[in-house]
Amino acid sequence: MLQENCYVVSDETKECVIIDCGAFYPEERNAITHYIQKNELKPVHLLVTHGHLDHNFGNDTIYKEFGLKPEVSQGDEKLMKGLKHQAETFYQMQLDTDFPPIGHFFEEDEVIKFGNHEFKIIGFQVNMLQENCYVVSDETKECVIIDCGAFYPEERNAITHYIQKNELKPVHLLVTHGHLDHNFGNDTIYKEFGLKPEVSQGDEKLMKGLKHQAETFYQMQLDTDFPPIGHFFEEDEVIKFGNHEFKIIETPGHSNGSVTFYCETEHVAFTGDTLFKSSIGRTDFPGGSMFRIINSLRHLGMLPDETQVLPGHGEATSIGEELAHNPYMDR
């Protein structure tokens, strides 16, 4: 009744994972099981993003049909054990459902594997503006680093330690836009992995003036040796790593050269400071434009509703969620 999105993700091996089975009505439960059986898929994980009832109504069907128990963060253990209580409190209904017990608690930095597929996104919240830096990898161990705004030594160390601990091979340092809070740590990535930042040419001036930004907006003198720009994105360029690729979508407005990195196969978009949960980026900085950012948002609004939005600041959202609730978005 809340129009929750349940996903079935599979690959060429026919193994699949089921994410957030909130199916309540019989026809919804039947549709999911029919799809899996019709396509001869083999479910190997029932994954739960969080313990709210609308994302777990159908767990009993998945357990009955395929023998899978839900896998969830231990932080939501109480919610998962209180699904019937949630039904009474929030939905005013009595459920006689025999929900399966929790099958597994996720561990820190755990990787969920199925078939030949592995796609992992780890976020690091960094610097005084709490910018989101992402490390994205797949089963090949190649990875990309997006918006390395790490300022403090412990932030820089956390990112390099994660990469080295997991034996990842960084192949791109991608930049959504040229503001300093998204680029503080570029020197560390260059020193440790030899990568230079890749960015839109529209933000060339910003990237070459990072120390000036520090003086103007942060009242600090930086002695950082920022690496030179390694590559300017070309129109409709595709960034490849491992078995995955990002399409570059030009989304100016917050800055002249802002871009979004979109992975169609994984339904995820890294929007930088163009689109946030229930909000958008500022347009009052040099190179900013309200007209252009609104036009960029219209382009992002054409992505599928299920596309996960990972912004430069704040929590994740989705295109569907923003179309429904963000006053700046329409299609």
Q: What is the CA radius of gyration of the chain?
A: 21
d(CA 178, CA 167): 29
**pLDDT of res. 121:** 86
**pLDDT of res. 215:** 96
**pLDDT of res. 246:** 96
**pLDDT of res. 11:** 84
**pLDDT of res. 115:** 82
| Residue 134 tokens, joined | 């992402």
> No. of H helices and E strands in the chain?
10, 19
Q: Quick one: which of 100, 59, 50, 97 has its CA closest to 78?
A: 50
How big is the chain, counted in residues? Answer: 331
**pLDDT of res. 66:** 97
CB atoms within 10 A of CB 69: 16
Domains 7-105 and 119-325 share a fold: yes
Give the three-class secondary structure for 153: helix
Tell me the CATH number for domain 119-325.
3.60.15.10
Structural domain spans, the chain: 7-105, 119-325
DSSP H or E stretch at residue 155: helix 153-165
| Domain spanning 7-105, CATH architecture | 4-Layer Sandwich (3.60)
pLDDT tens digits, the chain, 331 residues: what are they?
888 889 998 888 999 999 999 999 999 999 999 999 999 999 999 999 999 999 999 999 999 999 999 999 998 999 999 999 999 999 999 999 999 999 999 887 777 888 877 788 899 999 999 999 999 999 899 999 999 999 999 999 999 999 999 999 999 999 999 999 999 999 999 999 999 999 999 999 999 999 999 999 999 999 999 999 999 998 789 999 999 999 999 999 999 999 999 999 888 999 999 999 999 999 999 999 999 999 999 999 999 998 999 999 999 999 999 999 999 998 7
**pLDDT of res. 43:** 96
